[in-house]
Structure 1
Amino acid sequence: MSTHETAPSTPERVRVGLVGAGGIATVAHLPTLKSLESRVEVVGITDLDPHRVRQVAEEWGIPGRYDSVDELLSSATPDLLIVCTPPSAHRDAVIKGLRSGAWVWCEKPPVLSLAEYDEIQAEETSGGPYASFVVQHRFGSGAATLKQQVQDGDLGRPLVAMCNTLWFRPHSYYEVPWRGRWDTEGGGPAMGHGIHQMDLLLEILGDWSEVTAKAEALDRDVETEDVSFAIVRFENGALASVVNSVLSPRETSYLRFDFQDATVELEHLYGYDNSSWTWTPAEHRAQGDDERRRVMESWLPAEDVPSSHKQQLSELLDAMTAGVRPRASGHDGRRTLEFISALYQSAETGRTIRREDLANEGIYYTGMHDSNFIYGSSRLAEASPSSTKPSH
């Protein structure tokens, strides 16, 4: 008997197929599916590595072991396909899932370009199936509470925000062949790391209107950037700074929102609960310790729901039952990818990019990068023998 043997199949449970048997599947998705086994059953898994498929299937009690996405879809007929592959394989797997009639939940980044995203949307049908994407940080009680407070105007008008993804990935991290490349990963930390915090920033503040950015490869041996900075204006008038880095030894994920009546802060690393959030009232909103405490407590979430794959998947299953579009799909999923596209376009062209200027054609629609722009050029020049100064 497997250590993770699942409960017997029932007609009410959603049949789930898994594409990709790597770390994100075993660390995040399979434990999540196990925790929701009253609602789902994992019926099959596929990966390019047959040995890995057998190993993971035996460990988690998955009956179907397949050599390809096509075989998984035709033989196991899942209702929900979860895609856990490297980014370059997302588009094809998602489209195949939708064409088979399965709903799809795909790991970040969604795809490598806005053009690929639009191809996926073209495969969706009213009432489902829909494709949604993993951005679990917006699915905790802290984010839900703050979003409602912003909509209700409880904290006053949003004015200033900070969104920092300061992580550390050693040189060895990029020894994996598909990492740090435009054709396989689609970008650097803006695409693969900071996307979670940026998605949460947009979840709270809404649509952005313009981006001015810088990006560079300062230290890692990558084609993409290893750090980026952006100044963002939102349609509601708020201004925000956004930093994405894989060069920061003391890692943190930090968001700060300054409203007319309060500052709200979130500091965590890879996931949060209510203890990660702080609401601080402005002086004019509360005088004295007792009043400040009362106001702060009135703003806190009523329940403590951590950000997690489990919470997002639960909402996705609810959407499947209701036949409605889930969050983190459609326009709601495209908005963050549009922002990343504008960030790279601004960094590479030196221009401020307005949202209305985004085109459905050209370099930054079919990809995220102009191949004529070389990241790390100053670092590479310093390392070149021809740039070495002669001794005197």
Structure 2
Amino acid sequence: MIKVAIIGTGAISSAHIEGYLELKDRCQIVALCDLYPEKAEAKREQYGLAAVIVKDYKELLDQEIDLVSVCLPPFVHAPVTIDFLNAGSHVIVEKPMASSLEECDAMIKAAEQNGKVLSVIAQNRFRNPIMKLKHVVDSGLAGRILHAQVDSFWWRGHCYYDLWWRGTWEKEGGGPTLNHAVHHIDALLWMLGQPSELQAYMSNVAHDNAEVEDLSIAILKYPNGSLGQITSSVVHHGEEQQFIFQGEHARISAPWRVTASRSLPNGFPEREPSLEEKIQQYYSELPDLPYEGHTAQIDNVLNAIETGAPVMIDGISGRNTLELIMSIYKSASTGEKVKLPLQQDDPFYTREGLMKNAPHFYEKGSSVENFADLKITTGSRYGSVTNRQTSGEQ
């Protein structure tokens, strides 16, 4: 039985707790930690857990903890993760992996030195529409991908950034590019790989209580000449989110739709129903996942611990996602075209460099310790609407 500790019992911890409980024949939650013990107590009572409660996570470092879920704000992901890896625990850390590439590298090094599993939450890979789209891309039926459109559309009210750690470069590490589009960026990298260069812009158009952006747009160029675009936003009403890939032979997307074209003698298009049917049949015959979301990723990590198999989303994956995000911030902050990868002497490799070079759109003017209502809504995501805590916000 794998013994589990949850570090941080804010809103996103429920997704972890429910995932572990769904797999309770293989694991047991034995400890909850939160700076505000009453929050941990509320979660213990809500889920009927037989878990100890501590205020300081360091009280657990000498305990028999096999696996830790780090559900804290981004600026403390690295030190907490490294401490538990050095203490002999495997770690699942919420997105974003850390607030700098320097911290990511330290986390990866700690996992390697201690021979422990490090997995970074990117639960949207474990959703049927995204997993199936990945299979269709890999099948080559749509042809080489020529253009990718990624819309990470969210909407957050002005008071969203009143929470004490949100809306600052120091503690949150960024706005929606880092904390919301991280899921879409991870999936894009998983499907198409890292671009070679990008140009980006960002602004704060609706939240004058935050230093960070609330809207960014990045244009990507891949080594083969293909282009992509990522919009990261917390100002989009309706929160429609999508991936659209334009291939040589067909358009495919999540939410799922396929359209194929062939050329008339004059170069104008006409539909090609036979290819559409072929791709649709391939998609329809793909099996559904046994679990989705956080539960599926936790299952993947448990399997890695039990069998020694690699995890799907490791520290390298988490770092690659953050590298693209930091490249967007660098381009949007400097006005320059950025070539990847970023080097260790780049100002945007460290948190201090990000804080020094990123613009302060506004100064944070108000701060609250906690919100009374911890419910997270995730809008219209790949064709479904849900109120489950799956966006990854702490």
Task: For 1:163-178, list aligned pairs within 5 A.
Answer: 163-178=150-165
Give 1:255's aligned residue: 243
For structure 2, list consecutive stretches of 5 or more residues without a partner in the other structure: 264-268, 363-394
Q: Partners in 2 of 1:152 and 1:290 — Cα distance?
A: 17
8 A contact 2:84–2:91 mirrored in 1: yes
Q: Partners in 1 of 2:202 and 2:60 — Cα distance?
A: 40
Higher relative contact order (CA 8 A, sep 6+): 2
Q: Using a 3 Å threshold, how does the CA distance of structure 1 residues 55 and 250 change in structure 2: closer, same or farther?
A: closer
Task: Determine whether 1:347 maps to 2:326.
Answer: no
TM value normalised by structure 1: 0.84
1:310 to 292, 295, 300: 295
Aligned residue for 2:359, secondary structure, equals coil
Aligned residues: 354
1:224 to 205, 212, 226: 212
Task: Determine whether 1:120 maps to 2:120.
Answer: no
**Deviates further, 231-240 or 368-377:** 368-377
Task: Determine whether 1:70 maps to 2:58.
Answer: yes
Task: For 1:31-180, list aligned pairs within 5 A.
Answer: 31-60=18-47, 61-75=49-63, 77-125=64-112, 128-180=115-167
Amino acid at match of 1:300: S
Give 1:29's aligned residue: 16
Q: Partners in 1 of 2:41 and 2:213 — Cα distance?
A: 36
Give 1:277's aligned residue: 256
Task: Determine whether 1:264 maps to 2:248.
Answer: no
8 A contact 1:286–1:292 mirrored in 2: no
Q: Partners in 2 of 1:281 and 1:171 — Cα distance?
A: 42
Amino acid at match of 1:326: V
Post-superposition Cα deviations, 1:60-104, rounded to whole Å, max 9, x if no partner, equal: 2132212221212323x2111001111112111101110111110
Post-superposition Cα deviations, 1:168-202, rounded to whole Å, max 9, x if no partner, equal: 00001111111110111000100111111111111
2:280 to 290, 296, 311: 296
Q: Using a 3 Å threshold, how does the CA distance of structure 1 residues 337 and 301 change in structure 2: closer, same or farther?
A: farther
Q: Partners in 1 of 2:107 and 2:203 — Cα distance?
A: 30
Amino acid at match of 1:254: Q
Q: Partners in 1 of 2:72 and 2:7 — Cα distance?
A: 7
Aligned residue for 1:208, secondary structure, equals coil
8 A contact 1:128–1:320 mirrored in 2: no
Amino acid at match of 2:214: D
For structure 1, list consecutive stretches of 5 or more residues without a partner in the other structure: 1-12, 267-275, 378-392
Task: Determine whether 1:186 maps to 2:177.
Answer: no
Give 2:354's aligned residue: 369
**Deviates further, 48-57 or 126-135:** 126-135
Amino acid at match of 1:92: P
Q: Partners in 1 of 2:191 and 2:224 — Cα distance?
A: 11
Q: Partners in 2 of 1:325 and 1:294 — Cα distance?
A: 33
Amino acid at match of 2:321: T
Identity within the alignment, %: 31
Q: Using a 3 Å threshold, how does the CA distance of structure 1 residues 288 and 218 change in structure 2: closer, same or farther?
A: closer
Aligned residue for 1:228, secondary structure, equals strand
Q: Partners in 1 of 2:180 and 2:157 — Cα distance?
A: 14
Aligned residue for 2:191, secondary structure, equals helix
1:31 CA drift (Å) = 1.2
Q: Using a 3 Å threshold, how does the CA distance of structure 1 residues 153 and 70 change in structure 2: closer, same or farther?
A: same
> Where in structure 1 do 4 or more consecutive aligned residues deviate above 6 Å?
284-288
8 A contact 1:216–1:375 mirrored in 2: no
Bigger Rg, structure 1 or 2: 1
Aligned residue for 1:250, secondary structure, equals coil
Q: Partners in 1 of 2:233 and 2:158 — Cα distance?
A: 14
Q: Partners in 1 of 2:256 and 2:157 — Cα distance?
A: 29
Give 2:388's aligned residue: none
Aligned residue for 1:30, secondary structure, equals helix
Give 1:329's aligned residue: 314
Post-superposition Cα deviations, 1:15-54, rounded to whole Å, max 9, x if no partner, equal: 111001111112x111111111112110111100122222
